[in-house]
């Protein structure tokens, strides 16, 4: 069993308190970072090969380096704790079980980008995580870790609760929401690093991404890079759910294969059933078939099969699952969550849901499958944000990889 | 509960509104937190509350309405004393959410989106709440309830009576 790093405190009693967090070695990374030049912190993180763990997989150190240097404008660090990608639940574990790891990560990131004010955007439904994290922030203020008056400049944290909208996990949608508007994504450029929250340079980082930083600072970027593969450093928290014997958050080096996650870490498929399909990186990732699971779960592995690692939310489906039925469920989600700003997304998600619903009701038409594929392929890449591209992942892959099942359903005129 | 048709925050709450507004570089950043406060106070967000909140931010009622209607957690009409929100997204669906939803329909006697006649429970189906390791699961007011069975649901409902 590989060493636990990000999840090492998940089962430690009271690890959410400052006292226990310190006992487990907490805030040593910050102690080191506070004595370093900001540019040196960024260099260390670049060396670590840490990539954003919210979904996009962008190299974190590079993202920070886009913040203009020497500018006197306020710069904001925004934490994306709006976890919402279907099949993903790892950030909730950090918020509830190891909240100081996030605060320590924020302190390190804030020093790297010269930010004095951070916002933590927590999805509104996460009431318990919000309570635990708020208590940890209060402790950090009381201990002099946070606050305007802390020697060396100080850093303040504002916790902001969302109100129910998947699109606010998209970084510019999140910024709109933080600014007191509906969560419509913004056209880029300008990128948030130049003109982000409240019009100022802003870095948006995911919870898990920031929770890696204390370890990178304590043990070095090279060490972290060495845990992973060529394309991505470190370990990751994989959220595994669906038809596995032991669903849950699994920490593993990013070289772990999808097969190992399902059969070794999560105990395989219960009831002696066979694997039919698996979503490797949250519902927006294209579905994979049983012959496609011998891939490393880093940025490149799922990509080699036309999918993506995304948020590393793994959803396992056994051979009892109807893929048309699963498509209807996923299509309903994208139709419900489309923000409505861009016509291709608003119209296509709505109509594709209606068609997928018609299919499972046994009222599908022969031309429906090609119509969905046509609409999906033509709309991809035409919208302001990546939401629709994410919806297209399941639309196309479910139909192309399981076309016979869809066709049989249309022929029989009834749902199996 | 104060009248949602004639909204007025207490002096203490108005101080809280000003504190929240002061946390952001632009006070408008506090709009969502203040709407949460309003909903906690008045039970839901009426048109009158939208207008009232607008005056606290120098925002038009139309802007506040646009925000309120965008987010699923803001209610525009009175809701039950409790919210029961069942996830119907993929992982929960794979593990029996449909059966849980049918069971709740029968026990509560209402469809998703409706409130029981006694005003006790508003029943919803919702998208992924990100607790898929406990599928099938639901949110009951502030807490998550997972690994649901019909029996477990019945026990939870008894606790809300």
Please work out, in degrees rounded to the nearest 5, the angle formed at the alpha carbon of residue A192 by the alpha carbons of A190 and A194: 65
Q: Using alpha carbons, select from A194, A214, A2, A172 the residue that is nearest to residue A82.
A: A172
Contact between A295 and A310 (Cβ < 8 Å): no
Instruction: Report, as an integer, the average pLDDT of B21-26.
Output: 98
Cα A340 to Cα B69: distance, rounded to the nearest angstrom: 13
For B1, counting Cβ atoms within 10 Å of its Cβ (0-12 exposed, 13-18 middle, 19+ buried), the class is exposed
A279/B142 touch (CB, cutoff 8 Å), yes or no: no
The alpha carbon of residue B49 is apart from the nearest alpha carbon of chain A, in Å, by 16
HEC profile for A104-142?
HHHHHHHHHHCCCEEEEEECCCCHHHHHHHHHHHHHHHH
Q: Using alpha carbons, select from B58, B42, B57 the residue that is nearest to residue B7.
A: B42
CATH 1.10.10 correct for B11-70: yes
Does residue A177 have a cis peptide bond before it, meaning omega lies within 30 degrees of 0? no
CATH 3.40.640.10 correct for A18-227: no
Does residue A190 have a cis peptide bond before it, meaning omega lies within 30 degrees of 0? yes
> What is the largest distance, in Å, between two alpha-carbon atoms of chain A?
72
- What is the pLDDT, as a whole number, of residue A69? 87
Sign of CA dihedral B46, A347, B89, A249: negative
- CATH 3.40.50.11540 placement within chain A: 18-227
**pLDDT tens-digit profile of B97-116?**
999 999 999 999 999 999 99
Cα A105 to Cα A243: distance, rounded to the nearest angstrom: 34
Cα A143 to Cα A35: distance, rounded to the nearest angstrom: 19
Write down the H helix ranges in B58-128.
61-70, 90-94, 97-108
Question: Which chain A residues are within 8 Å of B140, Cβ to Cβ?
Answer: none
Q: Which of B25, B72, B127 sits opposite A74 (nearest CB)?
A: B25
Token pair 């922030």: residue: A137
Count contacts between A and B (CB, < 8 Å): 150
DSSP state of A147: B
Query: Model confidence at A1, in pLDDT bands (50, 70, 90)?
Result: low
A355's enclosing H/E stretch is: helix A343-360
Nearest CA in chain B to A93: B131
Long-range contacts of A147-156 (CB under 8 A, 24+ apart): A148/A116, A152/A34, A153/A116, A154/A116, A155/A106, A155/A107, A155/A110, A155/A111, A155/A115, A155/A116, A155/A117, A155/A118, A156/A116, A156/A117, A156/A118
Nearest CA in chain B to A124: B73
B35/A337 touch (CB, cutoff 8 Å), yes or no: no
Question: Which chain A residues are within 8 Å of B143, Cβ to Cβ?
Answer: 127-128
Question: Which chain A residues are within 8 Å of B145, Cβ to Cβ?
Answer: none
**pLDDT tens-digit profile of A32-52?**
999 999 999 999 999 999 999
Cα B127 to Cα A164: distance, rounded to the nearest angstrom: 10
Domain spanning A235-316, CATH architecture: Roll (3.10)
Q: What percent of chain A has pLDDT over 70?
A: 99
Number of Cβ within a 10 Å radius of residue A87:
29
Structure tokens at B73: 């957690």
- What is the pLDDT, as a whole number, of residue A125? 98
A87/B91 touch (CB, cutoff 8 Å), yes or no: yes
On the question of pLDDT at A160 being above 60, the answer is: yes
Q: What percent of chain A has pLDDT over 90?
A: 95
Q: Which residues of B, range 13-52, sit inside 8 Å of A by Cβ?
A: 23-26, 28-33, 35-36
Q: Using alpha carbons, select from A219, A293, A250, A242 the residue that is nearest to residue A47.
A: A219
- What is the pLDDT, as a whole number, of residue A71? 84
- CATH 1.20.1440.230 placement within chain A: 323-412
> CA dist A161 to A241, B63, B116, B134, Å?
26, 19, 28, 23
B127/A86 touch (CB, cutoff 8 Å), yes or no: yes
The domain segmentation of chain B, as residue ranges, is: 11-70, 82-160
Number of Cβ within a 10 Å radius of residue B116:
18
- Give the torsion through C-alpha atoms of A264, A266, A270, A273, to 10 deg: -60
- What is the pLDDT, as a whole number, of residue A414? 57
A86/B36 touch (CB, cutoff 8 Å), yes or no: no
CB neighbours of B20 closer than 8 A, spacing ≥ 6?
B30, B33, B34, B37
Query: Model confidence at A30, in pLDDT bands (50, 70, 90)?
Result: very high
DSSP state of A267: -
Q: What is the pTM of this model?
A: 0.97
How big is chain A, counted in residues? 416
Nearest CA in chain A to B75: A163
B58 near A CB under 8 A: no
Give the distance from CA B8 to its chain's centroid: 21
Nearest CA in chain B to A92: B130
Q: State the average pLDDT for chain A.
A: 96
> CA dist A379 to A185, A281, A313, A373, A382, Å?
17, 22, 25, 10, 6
Instruction: Report, as an integer, the average pLDDT of B140-150.
Output: 98
Looking at the domain that runs over B82-160, which CATH code has it been given? 3.40.30.10
On the question of pLDDT at B119 being above 60, the answer is: yes
The alpha carbon of residue A349 is apart from the nearest alpha carbon of chain B, in Å, by 15
Contact between A88 and A286 (Cβ < 8 Å): no
CB neighbours of A380 closer than 8 A, spacing ≥ 6?
A388, A389, A392
- What is the pLDDT, as a whole number, of residue A151? 76
Cα B66 to Cα A182: distance, rounded to the nearest angstrom: 7
Q: What are phi and psi of A275, to 5 degrees?
A: -75, 135
Contact between A129 and A163 (Cβ < 8 Å): no
Q: In the CATH hierarchy, which fold is given to the domain comprising A323-412?
A: de novo design (two linked rop proteins) (1.20.1440)
On the question of pLDDT at A127 being above 80, the answer is: yes
Long-range contacts of B44-51 (CB under 8 A, 24+ apart): B44/B4, B44/B74, B44/B75, B44/B76, B44/B77, B44/B78, B44/B79, B45/B4, B45/B74, B45/B75, B45/B76, B46/B4, B46/B5, B46/B7, B46/B76, B48/B4, B48/B5, B48/B6, B48/B7, B49/B4, B49/B7
On the question of pLDDT at B36 being above 50, the answer is: yes
């Amino acid at each position: 069993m590989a060493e636990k790093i990000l999840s090492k405190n998940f089962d430690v009693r009271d690890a959410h308190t400052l006292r226990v967090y310190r006992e487990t070695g907490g805030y040593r990374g910050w102690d080191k970072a506070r004595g370093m030049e900001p540019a040196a912190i960024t260099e260390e993180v670049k060396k670590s090969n840490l990539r954003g763990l919210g979904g996009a997989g962008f190299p974190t150190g590079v993202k920070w380096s886009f913040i203009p240097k020497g500018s006197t404008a306020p710069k904001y660090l925004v934490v994306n704790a709006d976890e919402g990608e279907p099949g993903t639940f790892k950030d909730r574990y950090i918020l509830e079980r190891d909240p100081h790891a996030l605060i320590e990560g924020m302190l390190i990131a804030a020093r790297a980008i010269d930010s004095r004010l951070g916002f933590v955007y927590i999805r509104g439904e996460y009431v318990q995580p919000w309570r635990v994290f708020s208590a940890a922030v209060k402790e950090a203020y009381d201990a002099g870790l946070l606050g305007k008056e802390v020697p060396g400049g100080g850093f303040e944290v504002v916790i902001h609760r969302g109100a129910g909208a998947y699109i606010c996990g998209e970084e510019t949608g999140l910024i709109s929401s933080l600014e007191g508007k509906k969560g419509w994504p913004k056209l880029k450029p300008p990128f948030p690093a130049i003109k982000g929250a409240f019009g100022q340079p802003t870095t948006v980082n995911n919870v898990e991404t920031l929770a890696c930083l204390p370890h990178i600072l304590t043990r070095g970027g090279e060490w972290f890079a060495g845990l992973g593969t060529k394309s991505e450093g470190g370990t990751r928290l994989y959220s595994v759910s669906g038809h596995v014997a032991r669903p849950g958050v699994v920490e593993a080096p990013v070289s772990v294969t999808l097969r190992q996650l399902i059969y070794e870490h999560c105990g395989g498929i219960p009831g002696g059933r066979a694997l039919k399909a698996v979503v490797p990186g949250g519902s927006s990732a294209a579905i994979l078939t049983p012959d496609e699971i011998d891939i490393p779960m880093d940025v490149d592995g799922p990509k080699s099969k036309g999918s993506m690692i995304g948020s590393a939310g793994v959803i396992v489906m056994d051979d009892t699952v109807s893929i048309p039925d699963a498509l209807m469920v996923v299509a309903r989600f994208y139709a419900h969550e489309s923000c409505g700003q861009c016509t291709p997304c608003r119209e296509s998600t709505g109509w594709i849901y209606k068609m997928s619903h018609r299919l499972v009701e046994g009222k599908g038409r022969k031309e429906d499958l090609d119509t969905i594929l046509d609409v999906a392929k033509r709309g991809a890449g035409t919208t302001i944000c990546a939401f629709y591209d994410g919806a297209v992942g399941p639309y196309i892959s479910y139909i192309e990889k399981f076309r016979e099942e869809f066709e049989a359903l249309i022929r029989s005129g009834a749902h199996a | 509960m104060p009248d949602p048709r004639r909204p007025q925050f207490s002096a203490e709450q108005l101080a809280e509104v000003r504190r929240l507004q002061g946390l952001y570089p632009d006070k408008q950043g506090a709009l969502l937190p203040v709407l949460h406060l309003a909903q906690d106070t008045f039970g839901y967000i009426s048109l009158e509350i939208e207008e009232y909140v607008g005056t606290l931010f120098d925002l038009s009622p139309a802007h506040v309405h646009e925000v309120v209607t965008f987010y699923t957690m803001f209610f525009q009409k009175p809701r039950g004393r409790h919210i029961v929100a069942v996830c119907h997204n993929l992982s929960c669906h794979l593990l029996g959410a449909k059966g849980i939803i049918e069971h709740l329909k029968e026990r509560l006697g209402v469809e998703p989106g409706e409130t029981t006649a006694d005003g006790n429970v508003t029943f919803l189906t919702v998208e992924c709440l990100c607790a898929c390791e406990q599928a099938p699961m639901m949110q009951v007011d502030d807490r998550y309830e997972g690994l649901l069975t019909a029996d477990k649901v019945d026990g939870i409902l008894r606790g809300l009576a």
